């Protein structure tokens, strides 16, 4: 719900003249709700601005987002960041909402 | 890039729990778009977060984390101030709604980058941070978000003198 809520708010702010940028990790939900500008980080939900206990990664993600912001030239674009949650292992993507999901 | 199909996965998940009618996510056409008025290095920024965090008071008990979802109030705007100069140790993640499988939410800066934004401001990448960041409540009711919360966020951002707004969902 977070991604949808934030996207709807971003559209309202921009409609009233305030430039926005939305970060996201649920790309499909955000793309459907369609905020003016977005940066996508392919990490598990709950880590929208970087890896826990990794300040350098967090700084880099935000630096990339700020660098992308002035470069958007049309509405609804999503910039994909290149970082991976765990190098060489995207297993977390398979585990989202699987049969063991509610144990956590 | 391969990405997680969250819409499909949440529909499957809730079907397994016995809900037969899938939630209708918002599908919007082209968004509004206004250019930056000035460089970010000269702009005042407000962060708007949907994180279920609360402030630990200096002189009282810490907020109690709740289990399950915070249903909230669908009849009034729910937009809360969080001082942008607050130490992250005074912020506590209290929502029980978030799955803890991949991370336990203990590092606030991974989803509410209050410390990192101050550093980037000190480096000069951001002109200034507004006095407060804002927290909103994620909401199933799109009407509530559009008609109550979004206008209140706008009012507060304007009062804070925001030039730009960074939105961070969880």
| Contact assessment for residue A87 and residue A53, using Cβ atoms and an 8 Å cutoff | no
Which three-class secondary structure string do you get for chain B?
CCCCCHHHHHHHHHHHCCCCCCCCCCCCCCCCCCCCCCCHHHCEEEEEECCCEEECCCCCCCCCCCCCCCCCCCCCCCEEEEECCCCHHHEEECCCCCCCCCCCCCCHHHCCCHHHHHHHHHCCCCCEECCEEEEECCCCCHHHHHHHHHHHHHHHHHHCCCCEEEEECC
Tokens 């809900």 — which residue? B19
pLDDT for B95 equals 83
Contacts of A102 (CB under 8 A, 6+ apart): none
Residues 25-64 of chain A with CB under 8 A from chain B are 25-30, 32-37, 40, 42, 44-53, 55, 58-59, 62-63
The alpha-carbon gap from A6 to the nearest alpha carbon of chain B, in Å, equals 6
pLDDT for A104 equals 76
For residue B30, tell me if it sits in a domain.
no
For residue B24, tell me if it sits in a domain.
no
> pLDDT tens digit string along B123-141?
999 999 999 999 999 888 9
Percent of chain B with pLDDT over 90: 76
Number of compact structural domains in chain B: 1
For residue B45, tell me if it sits in a domain.
yes
pLDDT band at A57 (very low <50, low <70, confident <90, very high): very high
The alpha-carbon gap from B57 to the nearest alpha carbon of chain A, in Å, equals 24
pLDDT band at A101 (very low <50, low <70, confident <90, very high): confident
For residue B41, tell me if it sits in a domain.
yes
* Domain extents in chain A: 2-84
For residue B68, tell me if it sits in a domain.
yes
User: For A66-76, what is the mean pLDDT?
Assistant: 97
pLDDT for B20 equals 86
Tell if the pTM clears 0.90, that is, is over it. yes
Residue B71 has pLDDT above 70, yes or no: no
Please check whether residue B80 touches A, CB under 8 A. Answer: no
- pLDDT higher at B60 or A37: A37
pLDDT band at B70 (very low <50, low <70, confident <90, very high): low
Residues 11-70 of chain B with CB under 8 A from chain A are 12-13, 25-37, 39-40, 48, 50
Residue B7 has pLDDT above 70, yes or no: yes
Summary mean pLDDT of chain A: 95
Residue A29 has pLDDT above 80, yes or no: yes
pLDDT for B110 equals 97
The alpha-carbon gap from A75 to the nearest alpha carbon of chain B, in Å, equals 6
Hey, what are A58's tokens? 């967090």
pLDDT band at B108 (very low <50, low <70, confident <90, very high): very high
- How many Å apart are CA B111 and CA B126, to the nearest integer? 19
User: For B1-24, what is the mean pLDDT?
Assistant: 92
The alpha-carbon gap from B141 to the nearest alpha carbon of chain A, in Å, equals 9
For residue B87, tell me if it sits in a domain.
yes
For residue B136, tell me if it sits in a domain.
yes
For residue B14, tell me if it sits in a domain.
no
Contact list, A70 vs chain B (CB under 8 Å) = 36, 39-40
User: For A76-104, what is the mean pLDDT?
Assistant: 89
User: For B10-17, what is the mean pLDDT?
Assistant: 91
Provide the residue range defining the domain that includes B112: 37-168
């Amino acid at each position: 719900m977070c991604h949808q809520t934030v996207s709807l708010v971003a559209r309202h702010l921009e409609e009233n003249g305030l430039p926005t940028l939305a970060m996201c990790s649920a790309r499909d939900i955000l793309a459907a709700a369609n905020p003016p500008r977005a940066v996508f980080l392919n990490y598990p939900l709950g880590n929208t601005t970087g890896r826990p206990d990794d300040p350098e990664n967090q700084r880099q993600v935000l630096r990339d987002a700020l660098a992308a912001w002035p470069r958007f030239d049309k509405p609804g674009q999503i910039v994909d960041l290149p970082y991976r949650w765990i190098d060489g292992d995207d297993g977390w993507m398979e585990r989202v909402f699987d049969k063991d999901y509610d144990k956590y | 890039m391969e990405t997680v199909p969250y819409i499909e996965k949440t529909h499957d998940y809730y079907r397994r729990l016995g809900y037969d009618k899938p939630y209708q996510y918002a599908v919007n056409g082209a968004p509004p778009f206004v250019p930056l008025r000035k460089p970010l290095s000269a702009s005042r920024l407000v962060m708007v977060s949907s994180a279920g965090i609360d402030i630990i008071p200096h002189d009282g008990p810490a907020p109690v984390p709740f289990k399950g979802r915070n249903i909230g109030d669908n009849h009034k705007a729910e937009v809360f101030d969080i001082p942008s100069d607050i130490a992250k140790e005074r912020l506590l993640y209290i929502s029980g709604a978030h799955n803890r499988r991949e991370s336990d939410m203990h590092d606030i800066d991974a989803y509410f980058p209050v410390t990192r934004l101050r550093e980037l401001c000190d480096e000069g990448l951001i002109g200034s941070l507004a006095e407060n960041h804002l927290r909103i409540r994620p909401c199933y009711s799109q009407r509530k978000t559009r008609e109550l919360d979004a206008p209140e966020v706008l009012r507060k951002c304007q009062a804070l003198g925001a030039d730009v707004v960074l939105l961070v969902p969880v």
